[in-house]
Amino acid sequence: MNPMQRNSKNFLFLLFVTNAVVNLFGNTAGISILSDVTKPLIVPLLLGYYVAGSDYPRSKPLMIALITCWLGDVALMFVGLKASWFMTGLVLFLAGHVFYIITYRQHRSESDEHALLTVQKVRFSLPVVLAGTGLLVVLFPVLSGGLKFPVVIYATAIIVMVMTAIFRFGRTNNRSYWLVLTGAVLFMVSDSILAINRFLGAIEMGGVLIMLTYIAAQYLIVEGLRRHEE
């Protein structure tokens, strides 16, 4: 990485962190203008950080995942005006998770010599599957008919996304593995809090927790994937 590229990466990272702090402050203090202005900037700044800090070839599936998540962020901002925007956001984030799954498979070595055995994959995936299906069981009775199927599909996608992160074990370096896995789990946590907050009842500081886990998840995934080549 040349000095100009490094400076651009550091500058965009600083902007990303500053924007994230302002967003979280806006959510905590109830200053909607701060949270509304900064939310659509979170993913574009992270995408810029990835592009500036990564050499060619950059991952197209990762960039598509980030763009669809950004569009999902924007769509969810309009839910208060029209409820149908929630479905739009759901579909866009579903696409994002599909592209994250593709990206995780792209960022692993061809050799499976040190990969998890089948029984280990089942064992390590079980808590994720139980957590995801458990939340679905709780949510299903309160979902309207039009949302039941899309929510099941979405929950399945995010469970598979986390499982795919788990299955990178032994096929990348430790730093990349744990950063991506932590990010994937936090993404699932963020979505779970959002679902509970929307369908079961407001959680105290729910908006802050959703954004905190979401911002951390996106950053850790991107940073972890950047570290794969190390």
Task: Report pLDDT for 18.
Answer: 98
- Which pLDDT score is estimated for 3? 76
104 CB-near residues (< 8 Å, 6+ apart): 161, 164, 165, 167, 168, 180
Q: Which residues, in sequence order, are CB contacts of 172 under 8 Å at separation 6+?
A: 107, 108, 109, 228
pLDDT score at 83: 85
- What mean pLDDT, rounded, does the chain reach? 95
CA 168 – CA 221 distance, rounded (Å): 13
Confidence band (pLDDT; 50, 70, 90) for 145? confident
- What pLDDT is attached to residue 6? 85
How confident is the model over 90-116, as pLDDT tens digits?
A: 999 999 999 999 999 999 998 888 999
The confidence score (pLDDT) of residue 9 equals: 92
189: pLDDT confidence band, cut at 50, 70 and 90? very high
Task: Quote the CA–CA distance of 37 and 34 in Å, as a whole number.
Answer: 5
Distance CA 163, CA 176 (A): 15
Q: Quick one: pLDDT at residue 112?
A: 87
Give the Cα separation of 26 and 42 in Å (integer).
14
* pLDDT at residue 75 tops 80: yes
Q: How many angstroms separate the CA atoms of 171 and 228, rounded?
A: 9
22: its two tokens: 């302002």
What CA–CA distance (Å, rounded) separates 186 from 5? 29
Position 24 scores a pLDDT of: 98
Confidence of residue 156 (pLDDT cuts 50, 70, 90): very high
What pLDDT score was predicted for residue 170? Answer: 95
For residue 106, the model assigns a pLDDT of: 95
Q: Is the pLDDT of residue 229 over 90?
A: no
Does residue 57 have a cis peptide bond before it, meaning omega lies within 30 degrees of 0? yes
Position 27 confidence tier, pLDDT thresholds 50, 70, 90: very high
CB contact burial 37-60 (16+ within 10 A = b; e otherwise): ebbebbbbbbbbbbebbbeeeebe
Q: With both helix axes pointing from N to C terminus, report the angle between 174-199 and 84-106 in degrees, rounded to the nearest 10.
A: 170
With vertex at residue 72, the alpha carbon angle to CA 164 and CA 189, rounded to the nearest 5 degrees, is 45
pLDDT at residue 122 is higher than 80: yes
Tell me which DSSP letter residue 116 carries: P
Given this model, what pLDDT does residue 76 score? 95
pLDDT at 67: 98
Residue-level pLDDT at 227: 92
